[in-house]
Amino acid sequence: MVMGPTHAMSGALAGLAVAGLLPAEWGAPASPAETFTFAAVCAGAALLPDLDTPQSTVSRSFGPLSRLLARLVDAISLGYYTLTKGKRDGKRRGGHRTLTHTLLFAVALGAGVAYAVSTLGKPAIVTTLFLALGLALRGLGGDLAKEKGWILVSLLAAALAALTWQWYPTQEGSAALGIAVTLGCIVHGLGDAITKEGVPLFAPFVQWNRERWWEIKLPEFLSIRAGGAVEKALLGPALTLGVGVLAIMAVDGAPQAIYDAFTPVR
């Protein structure tokens, strides 16, 4: 699988790219602050699929509680795989890269978040923001977040959630948070699809060669090794640059200011 910081950065990039495309009735971000919040939720959600292993960044984000949850999700994922596997799907000892790495999980989780926000309003918004922003801080913070520990990450996430809940849409436009979560999970899957391990995005509904959990992945000569030189020296910097560019473009007046700066005065 691709490493946590790369997943988070790709989620942020996708969030910044998609935020401006959402219909207003879905809660499309109406300000730079809302755009950045949408992107941050997407970045955090891009780590969620790895909650199926205690060794992941997301499992360490909220201390013992998230590690315990990771073990539970691992067991549930393994059970789901065992119940739905095809005739040629092999036996597994763990649930990593099964249920939480499917489109089914991405859509169901996003729909659940949207429903919770539309039904419960602010409490669901604050909870979603706290969890997603905490994951985003852990993923995007890299070594700094790792060194400072889960307690500081949790405190910062709580502070950010408290700052944003005052102006974030409530029942109206509740789909936006759900879309951010679904998008982040899908981006995670696409990131894993470029590695040598692949990812079972369409499982367990699309069967191929009597396998329900077949992995989508690039040809061997195009795939990358997770944590390898290509990810660290090329993919990571490229994603960071893309996020920086889109973040600048999301600031009111920035595109015109940049254009004016590079346009010769006549």
**Span 90-122, pLDDT tens digits:** 999 999 999 999 999 999 999 999 999 888 888
Amino acid at 133: L
First to last CA, the chain: 53
pLDDT digits (tens, 9 = 90+) for 182-192: 999 999 999 99
Instruction: Please give the C-alpha separations between residue 249 and each of 135, 230, 254, in angstroms, as whole numbers.
Output: 24, 27, 6
**What is the DSSP track for 82-129?**
HHH--TTPPP-SS-TTSGGGSHHHHHHHHHHHHHHHHHH-HHHHHHHH
pLDDT digits (tens, 9 = 90+) for 135-172: 988 887 766 556 567 788 888 888 888 887 666 655 54
Residue 179's domain comprises 4-262
Asked whether residue 258 carries a pLDDT value surpassing 60, the answer given is: yes
pLDDT at 256: 64
**CB proximity list for 165: less than 8 A, separation 6 or greater:** 122, 125, 126, 129
Rounded Cα distance, 35 and 25, in Å: 15
**What is the DSSP track for 63-75?**
HHHHHHHHHHHHH
Q: What is the DSSP letter of 265?
A: P
pLDDT digits (tens, 9 = 90+) for 188-235: 999 999 988 899 999 999 999 899 999 999 988 888 887 788 888 889
**Cα Rg of the chain, angstroms:** 19
Count of structural domains within the chain: 1
> How many C-alpha atoms does 132 have within 13 Å on its Cβ side?
33
